[in-house]
């Protein structure tokens, strides 16, 4: 279990991490989500004792990181793929890590095999592709057979096969009862792997919730209506006591009523409908709304609009990865394959 309490990191005037308090529960995959620059990596570095917090503490099984005897046996981390000496072979890279924590030599060949680098174990790391570097970094994280694993943006820059591999690895690690803490800036990625979700924006905690709750709360389903007789339709809906949200482009959105009910109501008043469609907001949309105010680097073209408005409204809901996830687990593998 990892406990963060009031964790804060300031660089001069700028606050990178602002009073973060949450707990990473054992035995599940916790997704650590936030837009770029939200402070995810800084938080992870502080968890590993690499950066000193300005205020607050991180405890791993009740201890500070520096108090852990042979920390690689408690917690394995992949921070960035190339945090290694390029002139050293994969085997020697892992060997020196193993020796520093009293991990038997045999474990080096084991983890090399797990990540599929046995064939290149005597090759220098500088010749490795990003994917191979990522695998070697993961081998280092697995080396001490730790109860807790931490991955910072593990799928960044990987090809579909590598993404698929990492996703399955994290699932199998959690299935084996390990604590997995993984950061990402993609809701879609989290929806596929995480059981629990911690969302931050500009260093502040925005959400700390189970994935199921997040989906329940945020996957709003509604009906979209479009009519050339918009004003009359609005009147009819109001009279019927139905709450309407006026969306852009002359469309109306209605919560909590079935399309059948709305269609029949319109027909009863002889209204022409150009659109009557059930919609489901994607998790990606929900995430973007959650972090909209805290996104650090807005696109310059339209600084006032929230990110959701940037995409054509008619297309987005069906295309979000979160939506595809909700349609059943069968669609997961399409993306990873």
Partner 1 sequence: MAAAQVLRSEWTKIKSVNSTALTLSLAVIVSVGLGMLISALSKNEFKNLSTADKLTFDPTFISFSGLTLGQLAMIVFGVLVVASEYSTGMIRTSLAAVPQRATFLFSKVAVAALLALVVALVTSFAAFFLGQLMLGDHRTDLGAPNVLRAVLGAAVYMTLIAMFSMGVAAMLRSPMLSLGILMPFFFLVSPILGSVSATKKVAQYFPDQAGLKVMQVVSPPNDDAPYGPWGGLAILLVWVAAALLVGYVLLKKRDA
Instruction: Compute the distance between CA of residue 68 and CA of residue 45 in angstroms, rounded to an integer.
Output: 16
Instruction: Pick the binder of partner 1 from 55, 57, 96, 267 (CB under 8 A).
Output: 96
SS3 assignment, position 209: strand
The reply on whether position 119 binds partner 1 by CB under 8 A is no
The reply on whether position 82 binds partner 1 by CB under 8 A is yes
- Cβ proximity to partner 1: between 16 and 283 the closer is 16
Single out the segment in contact with partner 1 by CB under 8 A; choices: 71-79, 166-174, 277-285, 321-329: 71-79
The reply on whether position 156 binds partner 1 by CB under 8 A is no
Instruction: Compute the distance between CA of residue 220 and CA of residue 231 in angstroms, rounded to an integer.
Output: 25
Single out the segment in contact with partner 1 by CB under 8 A; choices: 86-94, 219-227, 256-264, 297-305: 86-94
Phi–psi pair at 103, nearest 5 degrees: -90, 130
CB of 138 vs partner 1, minimal distance in Å: 12
Residue 39 token pair: 């402070």
The reply on whether position 211 binds partner 1 by CB under 8 A is no
CB of 21 vs partner 1, minimal distance in Å: 21
The reply on whether position 140 binds partner 1 by CB under 8 A is yes
Number of other CB atoms surrounding residue 142 within 10 Å: 22
Q: Which of 283, 289, 284 is nearest to 201 (CA)?
A: 289
Give the CA distances from residue 3 to residues 20, 59, 142, 236, 281, in Å, rounded to whole numbers and listed in that order. Answer: 10, 5, 21, 54, 33
CB of 95 vs partner 1, minimal distance in Å: 5
Cβ-based burial of 149 (10 A; exposed 0-12, middle 13-18, buried ≥19): buried
The reply on whether position 83 binds partner 1 by CB under 8 A is yes
- Cβ proximity to partner 1: between 2 and 199 the closer is 2
Q: Which of residues 39-58 bind partner 1 (CB under 8 A)?
A: 45, 48-52
Contact assessment for residue 214 and residue 283, using Cβ atoms and an 8 Å cutoff: yes
CB of 284 vs partner 1, minimal distance in Å: 31
Longest dimension (CA), the chain: 80
- Cβ proximity to partner 1: between 72 and 281 the closer is 72
- Cβ proximity to partner 1: between 4 and 47 the closer is 47
Single out the segment in contact with partner 1 by CB under 8 A; choices: 60-68, 172-180, 208-216, 257-265: 60-68
Instruction: Compute the distance between CA of residue 22 and CA of residue 95 in angstroms, rounded to an integer.
Output: 34
Instruction: Compute the distance between CA of residue 238 and CA of residue 224 in angstroms, rounded to an integer.
Output: 16
Positions touching partner 1 (CB under 8 A) are 45, 48-52, 65-66, 68-72, 77, 79-80, 82-89, 92, 95-97, 99-102, 140
């Amino acid at each position: 279990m990892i406990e963060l309490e009031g964790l804060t990191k300031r660089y001069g005037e700028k606050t990178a991490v602002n009073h973060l308090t949450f707990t990473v529960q054992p035995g599940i995959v916790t997704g650590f989500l936030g837009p770029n620059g939200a402070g995810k990596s800084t938080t992870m570095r502080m968890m590993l004792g690499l950066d000193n917090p300005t205020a607050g503490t991180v405890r791993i099984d009740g201890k500070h990181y520096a108090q852990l005897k042979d920390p690689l046996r408690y917690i394995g981390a992949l921070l960035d793929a190339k945090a290694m000496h390029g002139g050293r072979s994969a085997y020697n890279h892992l060997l020196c890590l193993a020796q520093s924590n009293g991990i038997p030599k045999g474990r080096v060949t084991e983890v090399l095999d797990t990540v599929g680098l046995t064939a290149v174990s005597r090759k220098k790391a500088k010749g490795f592709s990003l994917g191979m570097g990522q695998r070697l970094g993961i081998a280092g994280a697995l080396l001490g057979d730790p109860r807790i694993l931490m991955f910072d943006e593990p799928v960044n820059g990987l090809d579909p096969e590598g993404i698929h591999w990492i996703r399955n690895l994290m699932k199998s690690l959690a299935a084996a009862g390990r604590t997995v803490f993984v950061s990402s800036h993609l809701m879609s990625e989290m929806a596929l792997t995480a059981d629990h979700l911690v969302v931050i924006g500009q260093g502040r905690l925005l959400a700390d919730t189970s994935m199921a709750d997040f989906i329940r709360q945020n996957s709003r389903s509604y009906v979209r209506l479009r009519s050339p007789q918009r004003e009359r339709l609005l009147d009819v809906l109001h009279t019927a006591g139905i709450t309407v949200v006026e969306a852009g482009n002359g469309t109306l959105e209605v919560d909590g009523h079935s399309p059948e009910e709305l269609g029949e109501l319109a027909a009863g008043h002889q209204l022409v409908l150009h659109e009557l469609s059930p919609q489901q907001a994607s998790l990606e949309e929900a995430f973007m709304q959650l972090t909209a105010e805290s996104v650090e680097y807005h696109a310059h073209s339209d600084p006032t609009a929230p990110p959701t408005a940037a995409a054509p409204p008619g297309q987005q809901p069906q295309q979000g990865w979160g939506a595809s996830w909700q349609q059943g687990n069968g669609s997961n593998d399409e993306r990873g394959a």
